[in-house]
Amino acid sequence: MESVAASVLIRGAHVVDSAHDGVLDVLIQSGVITAVATGLSADGATVDAHGLTCLPALCDLHAHFRDPGLTNKEDLESGSRAAVRGGYTAVNLMANTKPVISTHAQVRDVLARARRIGLVDVHQCVSITADMDGTTVNHLEGLGKHVRIISEDGREVMNARVMLQAMHAAASLGLTVMCHCEDMNLSPVDDRLAEDIMTQRNIELARTAGCRLHVAHVSTRGAMQAIIAAKERGQPVTCEVTPHHLTLTETTPYRVNPPLRTQADVDFLRDSIRLGWVDAISTDHAPHTREDKTAGAPGMVGLETAFGVCNTTLVQPGHITLARLTELMSRNPARIMGLNKGCVAPGYDGDLVLVDLHRRWIVDATKFVSKGHNTPFDGMTLTGRVIRTIKGGRTVYADAPEQQEERQT
Ligand code: DOR
């Protein structure tokens, strides 16, 4: 059951977020950060964090926990454990479960069970069309205040008239539409054109309807250019890219949707991050059984590797600063989800992650706590490891010392 520590002082960490870069103490009282300064003292518990870096805990805008119905792949508990092991304390769950999440009652059930597990804050998306049938949108009325984002992720709402209706409903209800941009008729013959065209369509429909749009897993230069053009004219569009689309290319034979792209696409996405066009890095954590993966199921798990992959490929080579990474992996996704997280500052939730920025470790998928072990990053050496995840002042994950030894290179 979820609880918060009365008072905890994180002492001597190098605190990095969009406003801090220095050795500081962080005081969390009743689950909320109350002071960030040097020389703080407190009556309660203390965590000695000298030598470690303290960041706002990560928030993932895009994860599949497969619960209900597909819990042989993942469930709320295993997904939550994978999240905190990766430094996350908040996740936005996709609706392509069995049954599809389309009602207020289903959302309430997921949120209640996630709260009982108490490791991460969960936002549960509702499907854009009821049961992802591609045509019905009247379920969007009366969803309740807990639903902020609707998404058909895993597939596209192919009928533009239906998507427009859903977007009009979203605009009047204050919902964000998170879209999986893929023309599913075109993708078997030209999967990048399929993404480019649907990104343009969804931006135009959202502009007409006046709704907020969040574009999931952007992977092509063309899609990114369409988003940049929309942002330049002031349209309320946000977007995310995944660690895998920022690091791997089509030369890695791994099935994921959207597919791994060319080096030119990877370079363009990285440049777009550097120039500030990308709002978030999301995992698209997509666990599958070995059998389903062998049979061609698209996707990979990502929660337990995302920080290491991004630190290794974006921060270490100097593409972006660590402070910018915290914006992409914590502050901006928290803002899009409407959470009071993402900054190490008084008044924010006491959700922090302590990382050893310099520790090198080898990804070993057999050690994942996720039920999914499907990852192309298996065996890769990464730099930067999550040592402790703190939620509301309470430690919800601590790296086991024997594992640290085992996996040091
Ligand atoms: O590769 C993917 N897997 N892309 C998606 O959009 C859906 C996801 C899944 O649900 O497995």
* Integer Cα distance of 36 and 55 in angstroms: 12
State the alpha helices, DSSP H only, in 76-190.
76-85, 104-117, 160-173
Number of other CB atoms surrounding residue 401 within 10 Å: 9
Q: Tell me which residue has its CA closest to atom 5 in ligand 1.
A: 154
Number of other CB atoms surrounding residue 141 within 10 Å: 9
Q: Which two tokens stand for residue 388?
A: 């402790």
b (16+ CB within 10 A) / e for 285-316: bbbbbeebbeeebbbbbbbbbbbbbbbbbbbe
Closest ligand 1 atom to the C-alpha of 96?
Answer: 10
- The amino acid at residue 231 is K
Judge whether 125 and 94 are in contact, CB under 8 Å: yes
Judge whether 315 and 321 are in contact, CB under 8 Å: yes
- The amino acid at residue 35 is A
Q: Is 257 in the pocket of ligand 1 (CB under 6 A)?
A: yes
pTM listed for this prediction: 0.96
Q: Tell me which residue has its CA closest to atom 4 in ligand 1.
A: 257
Q: Is 258 in the pocket of ligand 1 (CB under 6 A)?
A: no
Q: Is 154 in the pocket of ligand 1 (CB under 6 A)?
A: yes
Q: Is 285 in the pocket of ligand 1 (CB under 6 A)?
A: no
- pLDDT for residue 401: 60
Q: Tell me if domain 7-55+351-408 and domain 56-337 are identical in fold.
A: no
Q: Which two tokens stand for residue 137?
A: 């949108």
258 CA distance to ligand 1 centroid (A)?
8
pLDDT digits (tens, 9 = 90+) for 374-407: 999 999 999 999 999 999 999 999 997 644 433 3
300 CA distance to ligand 1 centroid (A)?
8
Judge whether 217 and 180 are in contact, CB under 8 Å: yes
Q: Helix (H) and strand (E) counts for the chain?
A: 12, 16
Number of other CB atoms surrounding residue 370 within 10 Å: 24
Number of other CB atoms surrounding residue 15 within 10 Å: 23
286 CA distance to ligand 1 centroid (A)?
6
Any idea where the domains of the chain sit in the sequence?
Answer: 7-55+351-408, 56-337
* Integer Cα distance of 29 and 10 in angstroms: 11
Q: What is the best residue among 61, 96, 241 to mutate for testing ligand 1's pocket, by most ligand atoms within 8 Å of CB? A: 96
For 56-337, CATH number out of 2.40.30.30, 3.20.20.140, 3.30.110.30, 3.60.21.70 equals 3.20.20.140
- pLDDT for residue 205: 98
Q: Is 298 in the pocket of ligand 1 (CB under 6 A)?
A: yes
Q: Is 286 in the pocket of ligand 1 (CB under 6 A)?
A: yes
- The amino acid at residue 273 is I
Q: Is 63 in the pocket of ligand 1 (CB under 6 A)?
A: no
pLDDT digits (tens, 9 = 90+) for 80-134: 999 999 999 999 999 999 999 999 999 999 999 999 999 999 999 999 999 999 9
Closest ligand 1 atom to the C-alpha of 64?
Answer: 10
- pLDDT for residue 400: 78
Identify the CATH number of the domain defined by range 7-55+351-408. Answer: 2.30.40.10
pLDDT averaged per 10 residues in sequence order, the chain, 409 residues: 74 96 97 97 92 98 98 98 98 98 97 98 98 98 92 98 98 98 98 98 98 98 98 98 98 98 98 98 98 98 98 97 98 98 98 97 98 98 98 95 42
Q: Tell me which residue has its CA closest to atom 3 in ligand 1.
A: 299
Catalytic residues: 284
Nearest to 369, CA basis, from 58, 80, 67, 124: 80
335 CA distance to ligand 1 centroid (A)?
24
Q: Which two tokens stand for residue 60?
A: 């993932």
Residue pointed to by tokens 């910018």: 324
Within 13 Å of residue 143, how many CA atoms lie on the same side as its CB?
Answer: 28
CA dihedral 109, 112, 118, 122 (to 10 degrees): 60
Q: Is 219 in the pocket of ligand 1 (CB under 6 A)?
A: no
Q: Which two tokens stand for residue 387?
A: 């040592």
Q: What is the best residue among 65, 92, 153 to mutate for testing ligand 1's pocket, by most ligand atoms within 8 Å of CB? A: 153
Judge whether 256 and 273 are in contact, CB under 8 Å: no
64 CA distance to ligand 1 centroid (A)?
8
Q: Is 180 in the pocket of ligand 1 (CB under 6 A)?
A: yes
If DSSP codes are grouped into helix, strand and coil, which group holds residue 62?
A: strand
184 CA distance to ligand 1 centroid (A)?
14
Distances (CA, A) of 258 to 182, 191, 267, 338, 357: 8, 8, 17, 27, 30
Judge whether 308 and 363 are in contact, CB under 8 Å: yes
Closest ligand 1 atom to the C-alpha of 288?
Answer: 11
Closest ligand 1 atom to the C-alpha of 297?
Answer: 11
Output the CA angle 235-240-242, nearest 5 degrees: 165
pLDDT digits (tens, 9 = 90+) for 335-363: 999 999 999 999 999 999 999 999 999 99
374 CA distance to ligand 1 centroid (A)?
12
